[in-house]
Chain A
C-alpha cells in the first residue's frame, strides 16, 4: 500500500527566501508522485509530477522537486518565495489508479 508523509504542517518563510516542503513516500511499486497546490477557496492545481523519467522535475510557478529513491523522498523547492505562493501544498502518491495524499503543508510568506 502507498502512503505519504509531509513533514511540517506549517512552513513560514520570508519573501525571496528558499522554499522547501518535505515529502516522504512509501510504495511497494515504482511510484508516481505529485505535488498539488490549493489556494484559499479553490480546488487543487497540479504543480508537477514524477513518473519515472528524469529525477528532477520542473513544475509551474518556478517550483521543482527531486525524486530520491534511496531516501524515499520527493521534496518541493522554489529558490525565491513570492507572496503569491502562500497556499496549502499536498504531496500525493499514485497506486492502483488511486491517489493517496499527505496531510498537507500550509506555506506562509512573510513580507
Chain B
C-alpha cells in the first residue's frame, strides 16, 4: 500500500486565521480525498481532490471555507479558512487507485490534529 504523510501533524491556531494541510504520497494515485473527524465522531468526507481541476465537495462543505489543491498525482493540500473553534478536528487525507495498477481500497494518512482557540 502507499505511504502517506501529512504536515503538520498537529497545530493550535487562533480564531480567524487559516491553516494549510499538506498530503504527500510516495507513489502516483488517481484519487485523493479529504475527511474531517470531529472529536469523538466518525469520519465525514469533505471533498475529492481532482488532479488538474476543481475539487468535488460534499454537501455542507464549500470551496471558500475548504479550498483544495491537487497539482499532481502525489500531492494535495487542504486549507481551513477563517477558522473558528468548531473547526477543531482531525483532518485526514486518503488515497485510492494506484497508477498504473488500480486498487479499490482507500488508505489513510496519519491525520492532522487541529485545535482552534
Contacts and interface: CB of A to CB of B under 8 A. Distances in A.
A62 B66 CA distance: 39
B111 A43 contact: yes
Interface residues of A, number: 20
Contacts of A102: 42
Contact of A94 (B1, B104, B107, B111): B104
Contact of B110 (A43, A97, A103): A43
Interface of B: 1, 4, 31, 33, 41-43, 45, 48, 92, 94, 96, 104-111, 113
Given A34-B105, A36-B108, A51-B104, A99 B45 contact: yes
Interface in A54-111: 90, 94, 97-99, 101-104
A14 to B, nearest CB: 25
B43 A101 contact: yes
B107 A46 contact: yes
Secondary structure class of chain A's binding surface, majority of residues? strand
A51 B106 CA distance: 13
Contacts, number: 45
Interface of A: 32, 34, 36, 41-46, 49, 51, 90, 94, 97-99, 101-104
A101 B45 CA distance: 9
Given A44-B108, A94-B106, A103-B42, 6 more contacts: A43-B4, A43-B111, A44-B94, A46-B1, A97-B96, A104-B41
B48 to A, nearest CB: 8
Given A51-B104, A99-B106, A90 B43 contact: yes
A43 B92 CA distance: 7
8 contacts: A36-B108, A42-B111, A43-B108, A43-B109, A44-B108, A45-B108, A97-B48, A101-B42
A65 B108 CA distance: 21
B108 A97 contact: no
B49 to A, nearest CB: 12
A104 B42 contact: yes
A90 B43 CA distance: 9
A32, A51, A94, A101: which has the most chain B beta carbons within 10 Å?
Answer: A101
